[in-house]
Amino acid sequence: MKIFLSWLKNYKKEAFFAPFFKLTEACFELFVPLVMARIIDIGIVKSDKSVILQNGIILIALAAAGLIVAITAQYFAARAAVGVSGSLRKQLFARIMSMEASEVDKAGTSTLITRMTSDINQVQTGVNMTLRLLLRSPIIVFGAMIMAFTIDVPSALIFCVAVPVLAVIVIGITRFSIPMFSGVQKLLDSVMLSSRENLTGVRVIRAFNLQDDEKKAFTEKNTALRKKQISASNFTALTNPVTFIIVNTAVMFLIYKGALRVNIGAITQGEAVAILNYMSQILVELLKLTNLIVTITKSLASAQRVSAVLEKQDGSSKQGEWSDGSPDNSGISSSPAAETAETSRSFSDIVVFDNVSLRYSGGSEPAISDISFSVKKGQTVGVIGGTGSGKSSLVNLIPGMYEATGGNVTVLGENVRSTDRVKLRERIGVVPQKAVLFKGTVRSNMLIGNGNATDEEMISALKKAQAFDFISEKGGLDAEVLQSGRNFSGGQRQRLTIARALVRKPEILILDDSTSALDFLTEKRIREEIAGIGDSTVFIVSQRASSVMNADMIIVLDDGKAVGIGTHEELLKTCEVYEEIYYSQFERKT
């Protein structure tokens, strides 16, 4: 509940007026049995029509006033609930956007989507219901008890037994149901992941005729979710019948006791009916309260999941909090002496790796280990190796997508661990393996690379990336880009992502196997254009020897280790792995 209160701090007015008007409505409702008792004891028993008419008007006035304040309370509660959910979505989106790659990997895309949608919707419902009913129902229950005591203490003692028993049952069910609903949300993550994978990989699934297998896998996950939901719902559903049994048993004793009290003249018939009405009010409110508890239980489970993302700080998560799959950066520390030594290097060494290792969480072996090299400003560096040799892992350390689990990475004169990642990445251009374009236009995608770029700069970048010709045919900079750039071929998407990086005019340009869909001639032209940029330091990751053979330095990776560092000519003589890669793609001269 503290989570809800902290989120409501910006909606203090709404958080005050919603329960205030609900309490006002409750007060109006508590007077109704007293008015009914007066109608029975005076109006009906004594046949006084004026009393019946007057008190009837009072009942109508109480109902009208209750309706007005109830609508007002609902207005303020809805404003607070929608405001909190909107603010949470904004904060959660900003938090996700600020996450490091390791955090996103550890959390999982599917669970982040679930928390952004389903969990926040649950929180919105919980805030709304909490402001409307959390204070109203207890006030009605205890107010009805007090009013009953003012009428007849012996009859009202039945309330003192029924209400505590009900409170124990409701609290007990709540205590056990919160973990159950947390489990439901986790299974919903699994279903969301399966749905997302099927939607994004639909072509692969159809190409390999795996529709039946995927349907079976989805059915299993969906069935597990359904069973968990049914189990949690069945458990919480016990609240209503148990409440009915206890309250109706109390009503039975109340009628018996009230009849005896009326028979001896201790109370009037109207007072007996009033006490019975108060018990009915308690019954209705307890039913509302039990439903509210179920709703709040779901909301608290969701609120904890949302709060876990908002409050989580870099490197502070406990092992197992997220799913596996990202580097385990716990316990990372940087030696002050090492940092001093690094910053004292000549700034001409624009990138320095000093015995760098990277191990992914749950991995038995490091992705890369004990890699050392330095790159001077303006150099072109090729990174080559087989699939899974650690090429992408290596270049991802440069912009700080991941932190090294061993050694130090120095970029632009600063240790990546201690530098401002935002400022660092403003000076780096990255073209990832998967060409990602965003819905909009070519211009809007280019502006992602450089928000201040002019049309001339964007056109120049497109020309260097060999993308200007086909873009001109589609409408130039205002050409439409559909979601994920699906109205472009794979090679066209790659060229557009290269142009997006080039328009940034980066000091360091990283091409992570970003020309794999291009023919050799187009790739050669792009390399020539990039080589003519000037002071930019370029990292080219590729499995093609032709892509890296003209680089100033080539780093050859094999099973996460640098088995060779040098020029093309040097590596052909000294590195067996590079020689094998090269001659598998080029004919050996005899």
What pLDDT was estimated at residue 237?
A: 76
What integer pLDDT is reported at residue 47 of this predicted model? 78
> 351 forms bridges with which residues in the sheet?
375, 411
The DSSP 8-state label assigned to residue 381 in this structure reads E
Dist CA 368 CA 406 (whole Å): 10
Which of 40-44, 58-62, 219-223 is predicted least confidently?
40-44
Residue 63 maps to a domain: yes
Contact 539, 398 (CB under 8 A): yes
Domain boundary among 294, 311, 328: 311
Q: Which one has a higher pLDDT value, 137 or 554?
A: 554
Residue 122 and residue 244 in one domain: yes
Strands 508-512 and 537-542: parallel
In sequence order, the 6+-apart residues with CB closer than 8 A to the CB of 208 are none
Count of structural domains, the chain:
3
DSSP bridge partners of 384:
542, 556
Tell me the pTM.
0.65
| Closest by CA position to 352, among listed 388, 381, 392 | 381
In this structure, is residue 317 part of a structural domain? Answer: no
pLDDT in tens, 146-158: 888 888 888 878 8
CB 293, CB 173: distance < 8 Å: yes
DSSP 300-365: HHHHHHHHHHHH--TT-PPTTSS-S-SB--TT----HHHHHHHHTS-TTEEEEEEEEEE-BTT-SS
Residues 6 or more apart in contact with residue 248 via CB below 8 angstroms: 283
User: Is residue 326 assigned to a domain?
Assistant: no
Residue 91 and residue 199 in one domain? yes
Whether residue 89 lies inside any domain: the answer is yes
Confidence band (pLDDT; 50, 70, 90) for 52?
A: confident
Residues ≥6 apart with Cβ < 8 Å to 280: 251
Distance of CA 250 to the CA centre of its chain: 46
**Local confidence band at 1 (pLDDT 50, 70, 90 cut-offs):** low
Contact present, 488 and 429 (Cβ < 8 Å) = no
- Residue 400: which pLDDT band, with cuts at 50, 70 and 90? confident
Asked whether residue 327 is domain-assigned, the answer is: no
Write down the pLDDT at residue 337. 37
Residue 328 in domain: no
Name the pLDDT band for 327 (thresholds 50, 70, 90): very low
The whole-number pLDDT of residue 159 equals 76
165 and 33, same domain (yes or no): yes
Cβ neighbors of 371 (< 8 A, separation 6 or more) are: 353, 355, 356, 357, 394, 407, 555, 561, 562
pLDDT of residue 363: 64
* 390 in the same domain as 247: no
**Which domain-ending residue is among 248, 278, 311?**
311
Average pLDDT, the chain: 82
Q: Does 196 lie in the same domain as 69?
A: yes
321, part of any domain: no
**Identity of the highest mean pLDDT range in 165-169, 183-187, 191-195, 522-526:** 522-526
Residues 95 and 174 in one domain: yes
Least confident of 99-103, 303-307, 342-346: 342-346
pLDDT, tens digit, 9 for 90 and up, residues 269-287: 888 888 888 877 877 777 7
Provide the b/e sequence for 240-251 (b: ≥16 CB within 10 Å): eebbeebbeebb
Which whole-number Å values give the CA distances from 37 to 56, 129, 247, in the listed order? Answer: 12, 32, 22
Residue 334 in this model has a pLDDT that exceeds 70: no
Pair of tokens at residue 129: 């219901």
Structural domain boundaries, residue 396: 336-427+506-585
pLDDT band at 71 (very low <50, low <70, confident <90, very high): very high
Mean pLDDT score, 518-527: 87
On whether the CB atoms of residues 84 and 127 are closer than 8 A, the answer is yes
User: In 3-state terms, what secondary structure has residue 371?
Assistant: strand
Whichever domain contains 247, its CATH number is 1.20.1560.10
Q: Is 108's pLDDT higher than 50?
A: yes
Co-location of 462 and 443 in the same domain:
yes
52-61, 207-216, 305-314, range with the lowest pLDDT: 305-314
Residue with tokens 């001269």: 589
The pLDDT score that the predictor gives to residue 590 is: 52
Mean pLDDT of 435-461: 91
Pick 175 or 422 by higher pLDDT: 422
Q: For the residues 251-279, what does the mean pLDDT come to?
A: 83
Torsion of CA 180, 184, 190, 195, to 10 degrees: 170
What the block records as the tokens of 581 is 């890669």
Distance separating alpha carbons of residues 224 and 218, to the nearest angstrom: 10
Cross-strand bridge partners of residue 539? 381, 510
Q: What is the pLDDT of residues 530-546, one digit of tens each?
A: 887 767 889 999 888 88
* Short-list 501, 504, 505, CA closest to 515: 501
521/442 same-domain check: no
Tell me: do 157 and 72 sit in the same domain.
yes
Residue 76 has pLDDT above 90, yes or no: yes
- Residue 58's identity, in one-letter code, is I
Report pLDDT digits (tens) over 336-391: 333 433 443 445 689 999 999 998 766 677 889 999 999 998 899 999 988 888 89
Q: What is the CA radius of gyration of the chain?
A: 35
| 557-586 average pLDDT score | 90
pLDDT value at position 338? 39
User: With pLDDT > 90 as the criterion, what percentage of the chain qualifies?
Assistant: 20
Identify whether residues 52 and 115 lie together within a single domain: yes
3-state secondary structure of 369: strand
Residue 468 maps to a domain: yes
In the chain, % of residues over pLDDT 70: 91
Domain boundary among 501, 535, 554: 501
| 557: CATH | 3.40.50.300
Give 432-486 as a DSSP string: -SS----SEEHHHHHHHH-TT--HHHHHHHHHHTT-HHHHHHHTGGG-EE-GGGT
Q: Are residues 108 and 167 in the same domain?
A: yes
Q: Do 80 and 166 belong together in one domain?
A: yes
Average the pLDDT over 114-135 and give the result. Answer: 86
41-55, 61-75, 431-445, 559-573: least confidently modelled range = 41-55
Spatial separation of the C-alpha atoms in residues 513 and 496, rounded to whole Å: 14
